[in-house]
Amino acid sequence: MFEGNVKVELSNNNELEVPNETTLLHVAKNIGSSFSKKAALGYVNGHLKELSYSLKEDCKVNFITFEDQQAEESIRYTLSFLMSYVIQNQFEGIEVADIGVNNEEFYCDFQTPIKNLNKDDLKLINKSLHKLIESNPTIEILEVSKKSAQQLLGNRRYMNYHVENSENSKVRLAKIGDYISLISYPLISNLSKLKNYKIKNISSTNWLRDVNNDPLQRISGVAFSNEQALKEHEEFLEKYESINHRKIGKELNLFTFSDYAPGMPFYKHNGQIIRLELQNLLRKLQFEEDYEEVYTPFIMNESLWKDSGHWDHYKDNMYFTEVDDIKYSLKPMNCPGHMLIYKNEHHSYRDLPIRMAEFGQVHRHELSGSLNGLFRVRTFNQDDAHIYVSKNQIESEILNVLNLIDKVYTIFGFDYSIELSTRPDDYMGDLNLWNFAEESLENVLNYNHLAYTINEKDGAFYGPKIDIHIKDALGRSHQCGTIQLDFQMPEKFDLNYINENNEKERPVVIHRAIYGSIDRFLGILLEHYSGNLPLWFAPNQVNIIPVNNKIHLDHVDHIKKQLKSKGIRVNVDDSEEKMGYKIRNAQIKKVPYSIVIGDDEISNNTLSVRQHGETKEQTFEVSDFIEKIIKEIDVLN
């Protein structure tokens, strides 16, 4: 190598020799002018860099093109930076607090001491952002010490907080003109590639997502690497609006919300029917597996959460009250209550496994800006279970839980994937126990040939876990089921059983949920089925329509009583509307079966039945129809 040059080894094993301080963009141009237009970023010795990055030593370079998902991440992050520039320069008194990316969204959080921005301001921001991208300004990237960064940022306290809390000795800044922002991800140099975006929303949030901190506003948008992807996303959203669970919930009269209890759903009669059917399905399956159902209080002494180890992880999202000068909190999870029930009795190895289940109502404070129908609420019902086992029962019991999860998800027609989450950085307990726990989970998955991916460092603070992700009819993935192995809580609560040698021994606790949150699971189901709920948990299973109320209503009531006596949920539409309207209304309400009763049906003792979504009617004997409905409702046989 000549003095003043650096040698670049490319991913195709070719080598280039370029002058010192040559940028990645010029290296890409050496490969070919057409390639340089496709290049978005480059890995330099394994570190992702902007194309403006200058090479100072021999290195390996691997380019990322705009078709790559990592490029989309950078596109969105660059847009969040550019939007922060526009917002801070467009409106007086605003201070940018944070920028970032969340899946396909990019966002900017900011404080507005003078007045909050509104949806009308989004148009101005969108216009200014478009103009900025068209002008294609140079973005200067600086890598400086923390002290230098704070000097450059001045008195911008939010950005300086991020600088102070950075784990690195140096931080990266992006600069357009006089505007400077801290950045944590490489930016796109060619701004012409940032045209496929749309600013979507303005919402409320809080600094560091903590309700006790400063109130902020967030502006967010979506972005993709090409126009077609943006178009497909817009089409998806348009389709989604028609099956949004909040819209379906209103149409089917399932639930509502009130400003008196933000983020806390009020279930109407129809919604409560579905919730109870979901609970009863799992209750029956758990009964077959020898689960013992329990009930624990909503409010317990604050010290319980400190003793359990949950305090440091959940206190910022808990609700508190004080009675007789004693501090209490609403439970954010059911685990400690179940530990107290176990501890209240003496147990032998012959008692294990003990399977303790509860449909427990829990409360967690979520930021108002993050509330989203039934998907993100402040109170929800958990199908919680805690299974107390000896060490040699761990693997067989986990397999039993996996089989139960498979049975439930199969009923709903869900495909699912499995993820193993390992020890997080803030783990509690002994490292050897953690290794044993992770190995136990791996053994179950491997020995039973279950495909899974590993999610490094995403386990619970008390133990590793298996998470189950279901895929709905729209192709979206939802994490619902979970199996968590816990050696820590038995230690903290001093739980014991008497083993075969008549000695005290710690049980191991398996935390288990299948729906996760019944409320969120209900929302997923409403969208998965587009509101066309399976017969067994449809709130109204059969709608009966008399042709003439005066003549046929007595017979209709007779049929209604026959159906209800078999546990079938029936509604009679005896309104004065025309027949065609009543039939259409039953279709709109997505009632699985509609029955029309007139003179012919009465004289023949038959039913004229139309199934939801069908245009033709079928004739049934009453007993045959009842037998058909009962068989269809019994999903466990």
Torsion of CA 109, 112, 116, 121, to 10 degrees: -70
Exactly one of 331, 478, 511, 589 is catalytic; name it: 511
Query: Has 246 been annotated as catalytic?
Result: no
Hunting for tokens 């140099």 — which residue is that? 189
Annotated catalytic residue within 218, 363, 386, 569: 386
Catalytic pick among 383, 384, 467, 519: 384
H-only helix segments in 392-487 = 394-412, 431-447
Catalytic residue of the set 217, 286, 382, 484? 382
The one catalytic residue in 49, 172, 335, 589 is: 335
49, 162, 218, 364: which is the annotated catalytic residue?
364
Distance between CA atoms of residues 207 and 623, nearest Å: 63
Residues 189, 24: contact at Cβ < 8 Å?
Answer: no
Residues 90, 128 contacting (CB under 8 angstroms)? yes
In terms of Cα–Cα distance, which of 489, 485, 432, 491 is closest to 459?
485
For this structure, is 386 an active site residue?
yes
Q: Does residue 378 have an active-site annotation?
A: no
Give yes or no: 511 in active site.
yes
Query: What is the sign of the dihedral through the CA atoms of 376, 381, 382 and 383?
Result: negative
Task: Please state, as a whole number, how many other Cβ atoms lie within 10 Å of the Cβ of residue 500.
Answer: 10
Please report, in angstroms and rounded to a whole number, the separation of the first and last CA atoms in the chain. Answer: 76
Q: Is 465 annotated as catalytic? A: yes
Task: Give percent helix, percent strand, percent coil of the chain, each to the nearest 5.
Answer: 40, 30, 30
Give Dmax over CA atoms of the chain in angstroms: 105
> Is 550 a residue of the active site?
no
CA distance linking residue 213 with residue 218, whole number of Å: 15
Of the listed 378, 465, 512, 520, which one is catalytic?
A: 465
Q: Is 555 helix (H, G, I), strand (E, B) or coil?
A: helix
Output the six-digit token pair for 220.
Answer: 């967010």
- Pairwise CA distance, residues 597 & 548, whole Å: 9
Residue written as token pair 């279970």: 385
Judge whether 346 counts as a catalytic residue: no
Active-site positions read 335, 364, 382, 384, 386, 465, 511
